[in-house]
Homo-oligomer: A and B are copies of this chain.
């Protein structure tokens, strides 16, 4: 990405206040070899998954990796060596070394998979360095960080994609297809959320990533080393995008619709304490048994949209329960509920009787073009295939340097649920207004074309 192009982009966006349309290209970020040169910041478990998918692609060169944990760098280098790709430049001597990666001319695009408190600052630095930036979920921790993402995108012209993989789930895309083909009629109500027993993720024994103990922070490793702190101190939905991302796309949020306000309520905090005192490595005398956890076990946020829909978003990660993102899509003509255990639909005039219909034949009929084309190959990619699709969308968008399917405005609006839910809970359920991160432009922004087989 050269200065001339940066100049054009900056003029086009902030000078005239014009938002980049998805089909506006500035010549792409491809280097001479037509390969996208990617720098990977953070090669923990999540970043390594992205690295794996990048290494499989002929149109990508991984030119740099960064991690402050030398063992993760070593694992990455082994993978790169086995895939017979060139050795990337290595960064991570301290926690600011990612800035040196961002200085590299041989990096067109950056994938960020780091602890949440690093997300926004790294994404901002990456956009400022002119890189096409992919940022893991959730994108921001505070409203100011949400604005930082939007403002930096607009000031620099660099694109930001939030890497929300659930938007590419086969059932999610099939239901999106149904929505676009008006199966449910005008939409009225949605449900979604992150309902995932994370107790074995939030605590481990400092040796393995998952379980085996009740340690976290300095005594834990992997996510327990940083994620658990958010449960300790924030009574908020700290992880809203797996649920809200897919629903926001179905509801055209930021593109003809927007999130207007929410109220949030937290149930009491029992689960993490209970886990500690009942764990074989814990117990009532364990130091962590004294901790008071701020985060309520089940956090319920109800969002109102500009078009009059309501969306219930749930955060339920501290109690024993089956995994479920609990999707519900409901309109004037029908309703569907689907998660990992249930797939059911009722469409007036089509479904026989007053009950549910199994959704399998619907999922087959409305299977998304992406899954028809790439499904078999994608399934090896991780999380049942969705990690392939989200990285594919990132790479293809970056190669053309066009706005990604899920952009800085989406990253901001979806992630804003965290600080807004915290404010509402702290204030006894007081409604909180979403900032309009599009500065009014949601009324004319066009939906991304999700219904194609390229990305």
Give the secondary structure class of A's interface: loop
* A308 CB, min distance to chain B CBs, angstroms: 3
Are B274's CB and A309's CB within 8 A?
no
Contact indicator A270/B355 (Cβ below 8 Å):
no
Is the Cβ of B268 less than 8 Å from the Cβ of A307?
Answer: yes
A16 to chain B, nearest CB (A): 35
Quick check: A304 and B265 within 8 Å, CB to CB?
Answer: yes
Which residues in B have their C-beta under 8 angstroms from that of A429?
A: 261-263, 302, 304, 431
Instruction: Chain B residues near A297: list those with CB within 8 A.
Output: 188-189, 332
Given contacts A188-B268, A270-B188, A335-B321, contact A302 B346 (CB under 8 A): no
Please tell me which one of the listed residues B265, B321, B332 contacts residue A319 in the complex, with CB atoms under 8 A apart.
Answer: B332
Let me know if A266 is at the binding interface, CB within 8 A. Answer: yes
Whether A354 and B268, one on each chain, are in contact in the complex, defined by CB atoms closer than 8 angstroms, is no
Q: Which of B261, B323, B428 is close to A428, meaning CB atoms less than 8 Å apart?
A: B261
- Cβ 8 A contact of A310, one of B189, B265, B355: B265
A341 at the B interface (CB under 8 A) = yes
* Listed residue (A197, A261, A304, A309) with the most chain B CB atoms within 10 angstroms of its CB: A304
- A319→B330 contact, CB < 8 A: yes
A210 to chain B, nearest CB (A): 12
Does the CB pair A330–B321 fall under 8 Å? yes
Q: Nearest Cβ in chain B — how far from A359, in angstroms?
A: 13
Interface residues of A in 51-100 (CB under 8 A from B): none
Given contacts A274-B332, A298-B310, contact A267 B322 (CB under 8 A): no
CB <8 Å contact, A310 and B321: no
A115 within 8 A of B: no
Nearest B residue to A270 by beta-carbon distance? Answer: B332
Q: Which residues of B contact A333 (CB under 8 A)?
A: 320
A123 to B266, CA, bound (A): 37
The answer to whether A322 touches B431 (Cβ under 8 A) is no
Cβ–Cβ < 8 Å partners of A265 in chain B: 263, 302, 304, 310
The 4 closest A-B pairs by CB, nearest first: A268-B308, A320-B348, A429-B431, A189-B298
Q: A300-B302, A341-B344 are in contact. List 4 more A-B contacts (CB 8 A).
A: A300-B310, A302-B429, A320-B346, A322-B335
Which positions in A face B, CB cutoff 8 Å? Answer: 185-186, 188-189, 197, 261-263, 265-268, 270-271, 274, 296-298, 300, 302, 304, 307-310, 312, 316, 319-323, 330-335, 341-342, 344, 346-348, 354-356, 428-431
